[in-house]
Amino acid sequence: MKRILFLGLFCGLGLSLLAQTTTPIKYAHGMFRGTRVANGHSVETLQEGEMEMIIGHRFGRINDGAYELFGLDQANIRLGLDYGVRDWLNIGLGRSSLGKEFDGFLKLRLLRQGASGQGGMPVSVTAFSSLAYNSLKASDPARPLSYQNRLSYTHQLLIARKLSDRLSVQLMPTFLHLNLVETTTIPNDKFVLGAAGKFQISKNWAFTAEYYYTMPGDLPQGQKNALTFGLDLNTGSHVFQLHFTNAAGMIEKQFIGETTGNWMNGDIQFGFNMVRTFKLKGRRY
């Protein structure tokens, strides 16, 4: 009788442990509405087979006045396509009118935060690496720029945590390298720390903020740290991201390394991202 009870207890314990090891891990979802916070990337990645088209606009400065229709007479645009090769691996290509720059990136999800009460990792971590190529014609045709001098590189770790159903925060330690700078006093390398957050106002509206702080000595005279406030509107099939920012560019090399607008002087630009996601592979939504 004791042997039967012991055998039953052992089998029950074994089945319990097996059930625990085969239970799917639950993760935190919806840290950010899309793959971008505002100008920069969020920790989120596309699912395998998803393609995302992003049309980004940044108008001129509001303090240009009524003659420029408070900046609306001017515009920079970026057209981009992102694709989910795997749930954890994304690639993307884009082209910006500012600087006539082409950019490509690779995004790799490393860790995912566990759902509330489920244990697991306390944060989500995604690695991001991009390459930008400036295709502007040389100002002096007699001294053309080489291919290498037109390149710049950005590497980031995106570290995010969903604190509640409404609030998410993200840190972005960043390394930016410019192959060519204007003078020898300007460093080729920049070490930057970014911070971002999202607060869910309602089901379809969210407030976002994003700031990139360049380390002392790495910020050339006349350049400023990029600061952006925004609103995300989810319409179901599209996401509209509305922004107020002091940065004209929409890729890391531009808004981290080339921002000259000063919020205190009213150098504020209105802009938006229009995001549409398509399912190209696998089961439809």
> What are the pLDDT tens digits along the chain (285 aa)?
444 444 454 445 444 444 444 556 788 888 998 899 999 999 999 999 999 999 999 999 998 888 889 888 888 999 999 999 999 999 999 999 998 999 999 999 999 998 876 668 899 999 999 999 998 887 767 677 777 888 999 999 999 999 999 999 999 999 999 887 777 777 788 899 999 999 999 999 999 999 999 987 788 888 899 999 999 998 876 789 999 999 999 999 999 988 999 999 989 999 999 999 888 876 665
Give start and end residues of each alpha helix (H) in the chain.
2-22, 252-257
Q: Which residues contact residue 111 at a Cβ distance below 8 angstroms, ignoring those fewer than 6 apart? A: 121, 123, 124, 125
Q: Is the dihedral of CA 164, 167, 173, 178 positive or negative?
A: positive
Q: Which residues contact residue 14 at a Cβ distance below 8 angstroms, ignoring those fewer than 6 apart? A: none
Does residue 107 sit within a domain? yes
Q: How many domains does the chain have?
A: 1
Give, in degrees to the nearest 5, the angle at Cα 223 between 217 and 227.
105
Write down the pTM of the prediction. 0.84
pLDDT digits (tens, 9 = 90+) for 225-238: 999 999 999 887 67
- C-alpha to C-alpha distance for 169 and 198, rounded to whole angstroms: 7
17 C-beta neighbours (distance < 10 Å), count: 10
Does residue 105 sit within a domain? yes
Does residue 270 sit within a domain? yes
Q: What is the CATH number of the domain that holds 196?
A: 2.40.160.40
Q: Which domain holds residue 103?
A: 41-279
Does residue 1 sit within a domain? no
Does residue 98 sit within a domain? yes
pLDDT digits (tens, 9 = 90+) for 25-80: 788 888 998 899 999 999 999 999 999 999 999 999 998 888 889 888 888 999 99
Does residue 33 sit within a domain? no
Does residue 176 sit within a domain? yes
